[in-house]
Chains A and B, each alone.
Chain A
């Protein structure tokens, strides 16, 4: 077969790799990000990422909005666990404004944050199952996320983008129905989590797909700025709730699960164990809430009339409440000048808020330290020399949420 009539393009004989475009629309429902992989057969030689397909300019938007309206933006960061982001933002504002929240508010916040963490980890772990081919675990688990959504609805009215709480606490006290739903959840969820665990944890196929895949050493992970379950899977026990406790986390007793090799299986296990720990924190918080009696049981916000809207009946009858109401709505309150950085342990790691205030009602600059954005840089190093199917498993085990990545 002569090659005289076939003119091969320049350099095509030397190039032995195939270029595969993974994304931005791909079936793994993590959001939109693109990976251009160079493959040598089935082995990955290099991976080039493109993000920004859902860049919504949160930081520029935040310069336009008063502090209380930025909560709706924070919802849409890691939208699988919106209450975590909301509470983190409110705590940042409270740090700037110098507001101290009472214990009951802190414990209510802990309940909501831990529910959000369970909700986030459930999605991540079940989607890892879906990407490995097991759809059933996902369907089982979505049923329990519906229970969590019902609790959110009872507290703030919305399922997903919750806009929960206000600077200083919550907008209304939790009703008895909310606590009943929480009790039902605490009763029904552990057996389901155990069943989900039994389906995957010692499953031969799942273990073969995830062990030894996408591993990272602890020093490299720290250098890349990893935080959260991905870092803990690599062996470093850094948890913002323990290192810099906020919202009375020091009153709770929980352990930090830590992995060893940082591969996908370790990340799955760390998230699974964190869900058990969150359940334990939820039970402790619920007991602590029940121990408040009398007038203390009606406290649901801090006593800061300058930043927390007074009740409508006071606005119509008392002069000070009317003045505070006017000042807060019109944006005339005294917001201190200064800079504050506050971080919380969100579902993916350390979610930080860097707020520069110039005294006006909207921030001068607000920057979100988004964990997804920072650890996705390491993706090439994680998947180099592994196979194509491993690239998919690694991507889903990292729990990349595009809304948080692009902000």
Chain B
């Protein structure tokens, strides 16, 4: 297959051949590296997030373009998209959620195992978008707690990747005790989730 022609006229030279994730703060010595457990676990988790693409409409097609080879979400660790909630970390809700679909989103969220994150991709998932109607849920944060919102209608693949990178920041900096904390429990209770 012939390589497609690039339409970027200005060539940017590669600065480094391989980029590595930066080391967290810690103490180094001959043959050892000491840091906090939080940072190591955060580093491991954030570079291997397995998303659950909950694609309902147009944003789903942009997600397909993001997973394609041009924009390639897989290089950020999201190589394996799963459709089984138990095996996934990140619920990516992409597209309009109607009131009929609300209970289904909630059900899928409840079935996910901790730690779990939610990203609302697109204007419709964030706030109802252009569909201010009787049948559309005005944002999925009416039914599930959301971590990152990506605006756009549909957001460009670069924006979706940016959203996933923000999730990576959240994952990397999260304390290991957050899921058992009072604050988190209160958040879930406000959604009616025990």
Residues of B within 8 A of A (CB): 1-2, 4-5, 7, 53-58, 60-62, 64-65, 68-70, 83, 95-96, 98, 100-101, 104, 108, 130-131, 133-136, 153-154, 156
Contacts and interface: CB of A to CB of B under 8 A. Distances in A.
B147 to A, nearest CB: 20
Contact of A29 (B64, B65, B108, B136): B64
A188 interface: yes
Interface residues of A, number: 44
Nearest to A140: B1
Interface stretch (A38-46, A144-152, A376-384): A144-152
A54 B57 contact: yes
Contacts of A53: 56, 98, 100-101, 104
Given A57-B131, A79-B58, A149-B65, 13 more contacts: A31-B60, A52-B100, A55-B135, A57-B135, A72-B130, A73-B130, A142-B64, A142-B68, A143-B4, A160-B61, A161-B58, A184-B5, A402-B57
29 contacts: A25-B104, A31-B55, A31-B56, A31-B57, A52-B100, A53-B56, A54-B56, A56-B96, A56-B133, A56-B135, A57-B133, A57-B135, A72-B130, A79-B57, A80-B61, A140-B1, A142-B70, A143-B68, A146-B4, A149-B65, A160-B58, A160-B62, A161-B58, A161-B153, A184-B5, A188-B2, A188-B5, A402-B57, A406-B98
Contacts of B56: 31-32, 53-54, 402
B2 A191 contact: yes
A172 interface: no
A192 B1 contact: yes
Interface string A387-404: 000000000000000110
**Which 8 A-B residue pairings sit nearest by Cβ, starting from the closest?**
A142-B68, A57-B133, A79-B58, A27-B83, A53-B101, A56-B131, A403-B57, A146-B70
A139 B69 contact: yes
A188 B98 CA distance: 40
A145 B62 CA distance: 11
Given A25-B54, A188-B5, A54 B95 contact: yes
Contacts of B58: 75-76, 79, 160-161, 403
